[in-house]
Amino acid sequence: MGNDVQLVKMAEIGVAENSTHLKTTLGSCVGLILHDPKRSISGLAHIVLPRKMRADGAVGKYADTAVPALLSEMVRRGSSPSELKAYLTGGARMFPFSGDRRLTSIGHLNVEAVKTILEELRIRLTFVDTGGELGRTIVFKNLTGEILVTTLNRTGDGEKR
């Protein structure tokens, strides 16, 4: 890629400026990217669950804490909420044959929770690639706002889109 890449792991939030790219791999988790094209600042939250249900300090783990925390960090770095574009990926149904409905629907619940929060915050969603039964690796190019999504197959190889 020729640029720095910041890897954002599960339950983490990362922010990139200038030519740094953001990267993560998702299954049922959701990747939310907020991008400020005017200031070349982008943030990525790797969200695991829709809402915080216990005393857990992992802010990036839950949609209801990660989205506000990501927005706050973007604003702290000079972004205006009205200028932000949101990109939403992931939320796959990774366990389609499980008898536990909570496992089969967690991806969908993650996606819906993030969409609801973005709507409440009046942040426009400009890109969505969610659902399905396969994980994804995403790379977000901060300077251009380009997102590269590679859908993984069952063997771990991927197909770029």
Q: How far apart are CA 45 and CA 133, in angstroms?
A: 21
Is the Cβ–Cβ distance between 32 and 67 less than 8 Å?
A: yes
- Provide the pLDDT confidence category of residue 104 given band limits of 50, 70 and 90: low
- Tokens coding 50: 């829709």
CA 119 to chain centre: 16
Per-residue burial over 136-148, b = 16 or more CB atoms within 10 Å of its CB, e = otherwise: bbbbbbbeebebe
Report the relative pairing of strands 158-160 and 124-130 from DSSP bridges.
unpaired
Total count of residues recorded for the chain: 161
Mean pLDDT of 14-39: 96
- The per-residue pLDDT for range 111-159, each reduced to its tens digit, is 999 999 999 999 999 999 999 999 999 999 999 999 999 999 865 555 5
Identify the bridge partners of residue 31 per DSSP, sorted by sequence position: 46, 89
Mean pLDDT of 59-82: 96
Model pLDDT, residue 55: 82
List domains and CATH numbers for the chain.
Answer: 5-160 (3.30.1330.200)
Model pLDDT, residue 1: 43
Indicate which residues carry an active-site annotation.
29
Q: How far apart are CA 153 and CA 151, in angstroms?
A: 7
Is the Cβ–Cβ distance between 48 and 38 less than 8 Å?
A: no
Q: How far are the Cα atoms of 6, 14, 74, 135, 150 from residue 9, in angstroms, in the given order?
A: 10, 9, 19, 14, 17
Q: How far are the Cα atoms of 17, 78, 138 from residue 47, in angstroms, in the given order?
A: 21, 23, 14
Q: Which of 51-60, 78-87, 116-125 has the lowest mean pLDDT?
A: 51-60
% the chain with pLDDT above 90: 78
- Provide the pLDDT confidence category of residue 101 given band limits of 50, 70 and 90: low
Mean pLDDT of 28-55: 95
